[in-house]
Structure 1
């Protein structure tokens, strides 16, 4: 298995895509198929239909083309399962780019104007009109409230001794959209951790979104513009360590070194080396557990960048046997891609399937290192189960 998942950039720029042989191995890993049993949602079906259209054997309506292009979670699990390395998210990203519609525009707008849209969305919980169906109001409120820290677990991991091997190093913090605009407590907690580790945090150089979501949405020009902006911001800060605590951001930023984005030959290895997860820097830091410690914690491994496992290694050291993780149970949360916007019922079905696999008991917690996964699972989990980013557990 690859050491890193890179679902957004699987085959771009590598010539003509090999043809799907319809073996069906992607069915066993596709979260949409697992949650619904509907094969028309699977990568195999998408490749089959795309080939039929390209060969003139099928003529899809605009509505059908939009459905084909939007119902994908962009998790990238199919790429690892496919014997040819075919990547469903690549296919749908190309379809989105060639058939731009309202959903793609809305997602692009959401990300590009995150500073406006995240706070506005949270405010809408008080302004939703009365003529919206009750179930729609409930769904919207749950998703919006999950962006903040209202249902976060109470801190119960308290650092005792800090690993100071990186003391004196300079770093910039790449917090990501959620921490920048919806849950700034994560960013504040990350700064405290870096201070404890003896790392000097430089002023924010003005990073924007990593652009990963725009790649999924079929907006490559806007994605490239954000990538260029972030590279220039890193340069302006003196090319220091760039610390991330969101798995999707880390995955998106790692891909910069694989694209022709203007990084010089001496910058390419420096970009790879200096892009580090906050969990990696924790090293041998030791913790004591507080009274709020749960009986059991399930670790949710994010789909994007899952191969690194930096969060998991750190949490195993910090939590010991309290942490539960099964390599054979790594369900997708259902947040990724345009499906969250275009087919929320499918997104929720995938989240429900993940929670059924974890089967947490009242009082248990689910912890992860991805902003989107926290948002999705926190909204879907019952009230007696707390879901959080591991930063929220640190006292």
Structure 2
């Protein structure tokens, strides 16, 4: 049975988005294409098929639509490479919203009920024996365990003197899903650092998920509900600084100011100004390095929010020559949200490609500032390589 696709409209602009000119600049930027060499997985192929269907030149079966709509990592790298600014994740999000499937339902449930399901899943994985022969269960066990503190690097940096230029300012922590429900040590570490910086840290005003992954998964109604809840929580707290330490959360929250979400004219600039990264607030804070520090640390730059690079600037100052980062080596981790459920083997290929690019030696570490990237790379890295959020390095 043929399936119709809705006309493609730009999510970031007004009216119809420009037509893809099939130039192919997105191909080397797309992690799925880079890791597999399969052009049918590329943004160009998706835009070509969507246009052909919209113009009545092709029909797609429900199964074909499901494949087209689920195999995308939502990294956004194609948008930066496209001369027209076309965004593959926007197209895929529309397809997912127009053709919801069971995988989308599961992802929506997983995010909306994180407070209940994530701790329960972590408890259940502890009851499962190692070396499980069932591949799908084994994959899920590794991913869920990686969300927690297992195999995290040991701390080897201790704050020495704090930069207190923001002392006295009121702040709240937007921890994000992983730190809120699976690895609360990150949230507690962030609070301790903010206290050392002299900020007045208020209680959690009732934040929920930033909604970023729900939008990519084609659940705009659920995303909008979470966005409204976060705005109201910020208002309830008195519109303080909102401190984030996850690149995906920062990217998702920054988008609130570009959408009609009910922020008033005086709130819009305040939302932009008061949304700050923890690394940015660290300023000139100094650290002591422990003797057990690794010989080198590879920095993984997250796809979401990569333009700011607040984490990178902070870590370069703190770690000096110990930190290894090259601008021409910025592979995607392959987490991909919904694709993690629908095509785990593709997600793993992208992760393997990223690790091959970094080629860490035994004893070295990989650090990043994104919860999803930590989870993905920690699950995929060999046993002699530790992966963590930079917060985990601070004792």
Coarse TM-score class (shorter-chain normalised): over 0.9
- 1:359 is matched with 359
Q: In structure 1, how many angstroms separate the alpha carbons of the residues matched to 2:13 and 2:222?
A: 18
User: Closer, same or farther in 2 for the Cα pair 1:129/1:146, shift >3 Å?
Assistant: closer
Q: Is the 8 A contact 1:332 1:350 kept in 2?
A: yes
Q: Is the 8 A contact 1:156 1:393 kept in 2?
A: yes
Where 1:83 maps in the other structure, the secondary structure is coil
- Structure 2 residue 217 is matched with structure 1 residue 217: yes
Residues 138-174 of structure 1, C-alpha deviation per residue, up to 9 Å, x if partnerless? 3222111101111000000111110000011110000
Alignment of 1:27-176 (within 5 A): 27-127=27-127, 133-176=133-176
Q: In structure 1, how many angstroms separate the alpha carbons of the residues matched to 2:105 and 2:129?
A: 24
Deviation at 1:12, TM superposition (A): 3.2
- Structure 2 residue 196 is matched with structure 1 residue 191: no
Q: In structure 1, how many angstroms separate the alpha carbons of the residues matched to 2:292 and 2:379?
A: 22
Q: Is the 8 A contact 2:10 2:16 kept in 1?
A: no
Q: In structure 2, how many angstroms separate the alpha carbons of the residues matched to 1:317 and 1:20?
A: 41
Alignment of 1:3-42 (within 5 A): 11-42=11-42
Deviation at 1:291, TM superposition (A): 2.0
> Aligned pairs, how many?
387
Q: Is the 8 A contact 1:73 1:334 kept in 2?
A: yes
Deviation at 1:338, TM superposition (A): 1.1
Deviation at 1:15, TM superposition (A): 1.2
Q: In structure 2, how many angstroms separate the alpha carbons of the residues matched to 1:393 and 1:10?
A: 41
- Structure 1 residue runs of 5 or longer lacking an equivalent are 1-8
Alignment of 1:183-262 (within 5 A): 183-262=183-262
Residues 103-149 of structure 1, C-alpha deviation per residue, up to 9 Å, x if partnerless? 11111111100101111221221455999744334322211110111
Please give the TM-score of this superposition, normalised by the length of structure 2: 0.96
Where 2:321 maps in the other structure, the secondary structure is helix
Where 1:232 maps in the other structure, the secondary structure is helix
Q: Is the 8 A contact 1:70 1:337 kept in 2?
A: no
Deviation at 1:10, TM superposition (A): 6.9
- 2:316 is matched with 316
Please give the TM-score of this superposition, normalised by the length of structure 1: 0.96
Q: Kindly indicate whether structure 1 or structure 2 has the higher relative contact order, using CA contacts under 8 Å at least 6 residues apart.
A: 1
